[in-house]
Structure 1
Amino acid sequence: MNVTKFSTGVVRKSVSLIVKRNLQKSAAAMVKVGDSLPSVDLFEDLPTNKVNLAELSKNKKIIVFAVPGAFTPGCSKTHLPGYVEKADQLKSSGIAEIVCVSVNDPFVMGAWAKDQKTSGKIRMLADPQAQLAKALDLTVEIAPLGGVRSKRYSIVAENGVIKSLQVEPDGTGLSCSLADKIVV
């Protein structure tokens, strides 16, 4: 299609719509320290076991960390095991709950919890439609894992307010969001 076939008004209107869409996209800025955790339903073990993140964080201090995918190498060999190993230490320093979130279904998260022996240490919550990742503006497109996933990050929240946020610079790396880097 040749732009010269359009009248000037049509071209201006199209450009204006594109600019508006881009401004709307950029208006949803990434979550930051001081923001509240969103009221998003996640799922534990079954699609019927809803866990609202805002409710879970009321009147307590929690850690939420996200991984791009359950059973993936970095997540299964480094990220989640680090939190499992440090869970008792973190909880003794005032953390009431440690939550691992991934854009997977609740059955996968349940199976991964058993595989990684997280019982009593880490709550494994599924974000099957990436609603939490989208609400935080922490999504990343990873085609081989099925498309939209969560960036890798860690959050310390107290009474629903984010006190600390560490987002991996490339969204998937293993540096600042690890258990040994968390500051409670």
Structure 2
Amino acid sequence: MIVMKVAVVLANGCEEVEALTPIDVFRRMGVQADMVGLGSQDIMGAHQIALHCDRVVDDQLLDYDCVIFPGGMGGAHAFRDNDQLMDLMQKRQANGQWNAAMCAAPIAFARYGLLDNHDYTCFPGIDEETKRVAPTGHFKESITVVDHNGHIVTSRGPATALAYAFQIAEVLGLDTKEIKHQMLYDYLKDNI
């Protein structure tokens, strides 16, 4: 049996709901989901929620089936400006591994070159920066966007965090029908 594992990278100023939703969904599904801090195991979220990570960013990011970035401007800027993280994420894309970013975090992917000639989405207004930095990327206004050639999943903002987590699970080959029902996501979709 192949053991799947995902990493959610957290940095100070990250959007907490976007960080914890994928962790929660994957752990409910029995998938190893690690919280990985950028520079520290102790991270302060954008809304002053203290988060304690399982480990810190290092070369082991290359061993995950998917590496996930939450948004939040502070966290997104920290991701964008970190050369170690850029190097690891560029290697992951070159290896054909899945990477995901939502809300403001696609600005990091833009700087890393991961959006070049690929489809993506992001928080309204962030697309202006991503278009400047990655002019060959293709911005879409969908809730989530999957680019199979670039092995990228992106999403819009806090309200889309569940859709984002489920979309990542699906591109990794997991069946999300039961978890969507258990979490009332199907009910929400049908009634909102």
Pair in the same fold by TM > 0.5:
no
Q: State TM-score, norm by structure 2.
A: 0.33
Determine which structure has more spread, i.e. the larger CA radius of gyration.
Answer: 1
Looking at secondary structure, tell me which structure has more helix per residue: 2
Structure with bigger RCO (C-alpha 8 Å, 6+ apart) = 1
Q: State TM-score, norm by structure 1.
A: 0.34
